[in-house]
C-alpha cells in the first residue's frame, strides 16, 4: 500500500526505466548520474586525506601488523635446520634418542649454520623454550664440528661434544618448534608452555604474565576511578563558573599538558620518596615518625598517584564538555519540584553527565592500560604494567616473539573491554564535546 501511494505522488515529468529505476533527464540512471557528478568531490576528499593515510599506513599500520605477525612466526628452526627437521619428522620422542640419520642431517645443517654464524641465534630462540639450549648450540661450534670423523657414527661424537646431545630433551624441543608458525609465544604470554608432551601450565615460579595482566587492569581501573572522583567536581565547577574564572581554571587543568611527561614524573619522585618533600613535611608536623616514613614510591601507590595526576585532564575535558551542555535550569526545575540539592543532583544532573563519564573513563582507562614511562620510573617492582614487560622483551631479552604476543593480547584485551563497554554503557552514549 505504501508503495502505491508513494508512486502516486510522483510528478509526471519524472522519468523511469522499465525496471522502475529513476532516470536523469538524459536517460542515464539517476544514481549513476549522482555518482558521476560527485566523483570530483570524492576524489578531492580522498586527496586531502591521502598524505596522512599513506603516512599512517607506512609508519603505523604496517609496523604493527609486522609486530603482530612476529607473535606467531617461527621460521628460524625450519630455515636453519631444514634437513634435521625433515629427519625428525619420523622420530617419536617416546622411543628414546633419535637414530643416526638425524645426527647426520643435524651435522650437515650445523656445518652450514656455523659457517654463517647463525647457530647461536637459533640457540637463543630455543633457549626461550628450554633453558640450556643456548649454551648447547654455542658449544657446538664450527671448530668442534670440523674435528668430527665422518666415517664413524656421529651420535657418540655429538655426545662426546656435549652429553645433552645424547638425551631426548633437546631433540624433542627442536621437533616441537619445527613448524613455521607456532602458538608458543601466546601460550607463554598466558603463563603456559608448549612442551613435547603438549600444552601445560608453566611452573609456579615462572608464572608472571597473567598476574601482570590482572594487575594492569586493576591498577588502570583504580586510576580511572580516582581520576573520576577528582575530576568530576572540577569539571562541574568549570562548567558552572562565569567564563572568565572558568578560563583561568581551565588553564590550571591544562597546565600539566604543557610540561614534559618526564619532568612531571620526576617531580613525583622528588615529592613521594622516603626522603622526599611529603615525608619530610609529615615528619616535621609529627604525623609520622622519622622511622615510619611512608613508602609512596617504587610501588603501586606511586604508580597510582603519578598516573592519576597525568591522566586527570583526559577525564576533566570530556566531562566538562558534556556538563557545559546541561542547562542549569534542569537543577532549578528539580529543586522547584521539591527535590533537595542531593536528589536534584543525583536524579537529574548525574544521569545527564553519564556520557561524559563514559567518554572520560574509556579514554583514561585505555591510556592507562598501555602506559609505560610512568610505571617504569615510579612503579618499582610491584607497580609496573604489562607494557613494561613488553618493553623489557623488546629491548633487553630480545624475545620479540613473546613481546609481540603480549602486545597482541593487550590489544585483544582492550578491544574486548571496549566491546563489553559498548554492551553495558553503549558507545553512542560517549560524548567528547
Partner 1 sequence: MNASNDAFVEFDRVQKSYDGETLVVKDLNLGIGKGEFLTMLGPSGSGKTTCLMMLAGFETATHGDIRLDGRPINSVPPHKRGIGMVFQNYALFPHMTVAENLAFPLQVRKMGKDEIETRVKRALDMVQMGDFGGRRPAQLSGGQQQRVAVARALVFDPELVLMDEPLGALDKQLREQMQFEIKHIHEQLGVTVVYVTHDQSEALTMSDRIAVFNDGRIQQLAPPPDLYERPENSFVAQFIGENNTLDATIAERDGEFVKVEFVDGSTGQALAVNCGGPGEKTRLSLRPERVTFAQPGEWGVAGKVKELIYLGDHIRVRMQVLGNNDFVVKVPNASRHATLSVGETASLSWVAEDCRALDAA
- The site for partner 1 (CB under 8 A) is made up of 327, 329-330, 332-341, 343-344, 347-348, 351-352
Q: 51 vs 351, which CB is nearer to partner 1?
A: 351
Smallest separation (angstroms) from partner 1 to the CB of 347: 7
Distance CA 7, CA 27 (A): 19
Q: 80 vs 321, which CB is nearer to partner 1?
A: 321
Distance CA 346, CA 337 (A): 14
**Secondary structure in 3-state letters for 249-284:** HHHHHHHHHHCCHHHHHHHHHHHHCCCCHHHHHHHH
Q: 259 vs 340, which CB is nearer to partner 1?
A: 340
Q: 281 vs 337, which CB is nearer to partner 1?
A: 337
Smallest separation (angstroms) from partner 1 to the CB of 340: 6
Name the 3-class secondary structure at 403: helix
Distance CA 360, CA 312 (A): 9
Distance CA 142, CA 147 (A): 9
Cβ-based neighbours of 393, under 8 Å, separated by 6 or more: 399, 400, 402, 403, 406
Question: How far is Cα of residue 225 from the mean position of the Cα atoms in its chain?
Answer: 21
Distance CA 329, CA 331 (A): 5
Go through 96-131 and write b for each residue having 16 or more CB atoms within 10 A of its CB, e for each that does not.
ebbeebbbbbbbebbeebbeeeebbebbbbbbbbbe
Dihedral angle sign, alpha carbons of residues 41, 47, 49, 50: positive
What is the secondary structure of 274-343 as a DSSP string?
TTSHHHHHHHHHTSS-STT----SSSHHHHHHHHHHHHHHHHHHHHHHHHTTS-THHHHHHHHTT--HHH
Q: 319 vs 378, which CB is nearer to partner 1?
A: 319
What is the four-CA torsion angle of 261, 262, 268, 271, rounded to 10 degrees?
-130
Q: 195 vs 352, which CB is nearer to partner 1?
A: 352
Q: 266 vs 352, which CB is nearer to partner 1?
A: 352
Q: 207 vs 352, which CB is nearer to partner 1?
A: 352
Q: 187 vs 334, which CB is nearer to partner 1?
A: 334
Smallest separation (angstroms) from partner 1 to the CB of 343: 6
Smallest separation (angstroms) from partner 1 to the CB of 335: 4
Amino acid at each position: 500500500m505504501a508503495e502505491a501511494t508513494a508512486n502516486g505522488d510522483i510528478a509526471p515529468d519524472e522519468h523511469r526505466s522499465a525496471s522502475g529505476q529513476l532516470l536523469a533527464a538524459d536517460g542515464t540512471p539517476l544514481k549513476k548520474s549522482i555518482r558521476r557528478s560527485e566523483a570530483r568531490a570524492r576524489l578531492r576528499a580522498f586527496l586531502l586525506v591521502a598524505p596522512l593515510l599513506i603516512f599512517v599506513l607506512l609508519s603505523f599500520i604496517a609496523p604493527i601488523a609486522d609486530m603482530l605477525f612476529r607473535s606467531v612466526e617461527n621460521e628460524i628452526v625450519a630455515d636453519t635446520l631444514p634437513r634435521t627437521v625433515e629427519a625428525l619428522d619420523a622420530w617419536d620422542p617416546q622411543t628414546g634418542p633419535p637414530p643416526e640419520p638425524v645426527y647426520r642431517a643435524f651435522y650437515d645443517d650445523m656445518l652450514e649454520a656455523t659457517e654463517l654464524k647463525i647457530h647461536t641465534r637459533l640457540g637463543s630462540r630455543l633457549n626461550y623454550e628450554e633453558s640450556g639450549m643456548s649454551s648447547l648450540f654455542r658449544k657446538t661450534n664450527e671448530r668442534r664440528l670440523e674435528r668430527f670423523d665422518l666415517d664413524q657414527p656421529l651420535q657418540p661424537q655429538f655426545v662426546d661434544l656435549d652429553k645433552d646431545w645424547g638425551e631426548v630433551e633437546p631433540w624433542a624441543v627442536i621437533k616441537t618448534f619445527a613448524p613455521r608458525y607456532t602458538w608458543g609465544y601466546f601460550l607463554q604470554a598466558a603463563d603456559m608452555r608448549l612442551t613435547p608432551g603438549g600444552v601445560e601450565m608453566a611452573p609456579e615460579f615462572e608464572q608472571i604474565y597473567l598476574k601482570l595482566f590482572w594487575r594492569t587492569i586493576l591498577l588502570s581501573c583504580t586510576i580511572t576511578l580516582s581520576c573520576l572522583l577528582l575530576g568530576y567536581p572540577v569539571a562541574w565547577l568549570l562548567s558552572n563558573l562565569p567564563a572568565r574564572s572558568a578560563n583561568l581554571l581551565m588553564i590550571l587543568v591544562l597546565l600539566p599538558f604543557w610540561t614534559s611527561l618526564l619532568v612531571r614524573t620526576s617531580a613525583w619522585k622528588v615529592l613521594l620518596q622516603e626522603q622526599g618533600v611529603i615525608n619530610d613535611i609529615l615528619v616535621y608536623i609529627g604525623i609520622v615518625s622519622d622511622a615510619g616514613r611512608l613508602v609512596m614510591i617504587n610501588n603501586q601507590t606511586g604508580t597510582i598517584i603519578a598516573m592519576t595526576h597525568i591522566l586527570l585532564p583526559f577525564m576533566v575535558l570530556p566531562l566538562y564538555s558534556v556538563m557545559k551542555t546541561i542547562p542549569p535550569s534542569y537543577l532549578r526545575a528539580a529543586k522547584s519540584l521539591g527535590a533537595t540539592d542531593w536528589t536534584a543532583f543525583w536524579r537529574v544532573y548525574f544521569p545527564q553527565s553519564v556520557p561524559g563519564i563514559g567518554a572520560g573513563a574509556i579514554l583514561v582507562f585505555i591510556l592507562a592500560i598501555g602506559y609505560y614511562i610512568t610505571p617504569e620510573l615510579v612503579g618499582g617492582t610491584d607497580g609496573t604494567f604489562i607494557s613494561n614487560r613488553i618493553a623489557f622483551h623488546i629491548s633487553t631479552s630480545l624475545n620479540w616473539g613473546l613481546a609481540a604476543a603480549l602486545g597482541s593480547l593487550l590489544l585483544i584485551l582492550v578491544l574486548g573491554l571496549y566491546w563489553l563497554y559498548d554492551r553495558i554503557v553503549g558507545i553512542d552514549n560517549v560524548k567528547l564535546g
